[in-house]
Amino acid sequence: MNPQVAIIILNWNGWQDTIECLESLYQNNYENFQVFLVDNASTDDSQENIRNYLKGKLEIHSEYFKYRKENKPIQFTEITYDENHDIKIRTEADLIIIKNPQNQGFARGNNTGIRAALKIADPEYVLLLNNDTVVSPDFLIELVKTAESDHKIGFTGPKTYLYDDKDVIQAAGGGSIDFLRGESHELAFMEKDTGKYDEDQEIEYVGGSCLFVKREVLEEVGLLDEEYFMYWEDVDWCFNGRETGYKSFYSNKSKIWHKYGTSSQDHFKTYYHNRNRLYFMRKHAPRKYYRKFILYYIKEVLKESIYQLIYQRNWHMFRSLVKGTIDGFKLKTS
């Protein structure tokens, strides 16, 4: 059991996190993988620093591992992305850098990596991995074991701990959706690891920080919905899979650490969370819950808007709430 895995990592002005993630990845015990690093039009020195790391010219120091010189240089090649150009390159390089001319966001950026991986590597599995994570040596072995245990497991996720608090769980694979409130609830969120979540189990969705997907899911369900840009696209993908008969599963022995909550500004996050929350609910909420959710949502947004505008005098947050709500209703569902 050694299926090929294509690992998609997005980078946007975050090379320090990215090379720490890569170093942990190249010290993992599963060998049959190829990395597709999508740079979303970084404006810092990301590409140069990542190249230097791959060449063995830039060391990374981390409390999670000891830097290894002996596995450098890491062979890589670079592709300039053009959505109108069919990728025909075939390469045995360990890592392929895809240079985007603009920031495509999480959904489209990952789709760019997935499309390239399907043409270049022809993998049996695809793994979406956040660049602000560090992985354990056996994380990929365990993801493969869980995914291979049932042909109907389409999405698999690890036990994800907080990077700054090693024994606190951010999520046990992913979680579930409260359709009355339109909220996602991560399993084991911010709980100390006491062994309570040491069994694999089915969940409603796998979190996007580390999302392991079978090739056949991509072929039957499709890729990420690019309307989302960022937030909720991972939940939507898993629910699309559920509606096609694929399970989402938590793999308890697969472990990673995540720099939780460092990826975006508050007003930016507020806009996309509210817009995409509405979009998701319109796509997936059972009819008996949807009307109750809308009433709850309007009351919640009105209360938060008044608080931000009158008490906080935060125009950016107020505008993000209102614009996110309006745009969420405007998005067309298929």
What are 232-264's pLDDT values in tens digits? 999 999 999 999 999 999 999 999 999 987 544
Give the per-residue pLDDT at 306: 78
Give the per-residue pLDDT at 181: 94
CA torsion, ordered 311, 321, 172, 197, to nearest 10 deg = 40
- Going from the C-alpha of 65 to that of each of 61, 136, 177, 199, the distances in angstroms are 8, 9, 35, 26
* Structure token pair of residue 38: 């999508």
- Enter the pTM of the model: 0.94
Give the per-residue pLDDT at 177: 97
Give the per-residue pLDDT at 301: 84
Whole-number Å distance between alpha carbons of 197 and 251: 10
Give the per-residue pLDDT at 86: 57
Parse the chain into domains and list their residue ranges: 5-258, 266-330
Least confident piece of the model among 17-26, 102-111, 190-199: 102-111
Considering only residues 33 and 306, tell me which one the structure prediction assigns the higher pLDDT: 33
Whether the pLDDT of residue 84 is over 60: the answer is no
pLDDT bin (cut points 50, 70, 90) of residue 87 is low
Reduced 3-state DSSP string for the chain: CCCCEEEEEEECCCHHHHHHHHHHHCCCCCCCEEEEEEECCCCCCHHHHHHHHHCCCCCCCECCECCCCCCCCCCEEEEECCCCCCCCCCCCCCEEEEECCCCCHHHHHHHHHHHHHHHHCCCCEEEEECCCEEECCCHHHHHHHHHHCCCCEEEEEEEEEECCEEEEEEEECEEEEECCCCEEEECCCCEECCCCCCCCEEECEECCCEEEEEHHHHHHHCCCCCCCCCCCHHHHHHHHHHCCCCEEEEEEEEEEEECCCCCCCHHHHHHHHHHHHHHHHHHHCCHHHHHHHHHHHHHHHHHHHHHHHHHCCCHHHHHHHHHHHHHHHHCCCC
* Structure token pair of residue 41: 């039009």
Percentage of the residues of the chain whose pLDDT score is greater than 70: 95
Give the per-residue pLDDT at 49: 97
Whole-number Å distance between alpha carbons of 59 and 52: 9
- Across the range 53-79, mean pLDDT stands at 96
Q: What is the CATH number of domain 5-258?
A: 3.90.550.60
Mean predicted lDDT score pLDDT of the chain: 93
CA torsion, ordered 237, 13, 68, 79, to nearest 10 deg = 70
pLDDT bin (cut points 50, 70, 90) of residue 194 is very high
Sign of CA dihedral 247, 253, 255, 261: positive
For residue 155, list its beta bridge partners: 213, 248
- Across the range 124-147, mean pLDDT stands at 98
Range 183-187, long-range pairs (CB < 8 A, 24+ positions) = 183/277, 184/232, 184/235, 187/250
Residue 291, Cβ density class (10 Å: 0-12 exposed, 13-18 middle, ≥19 buried) = exposed
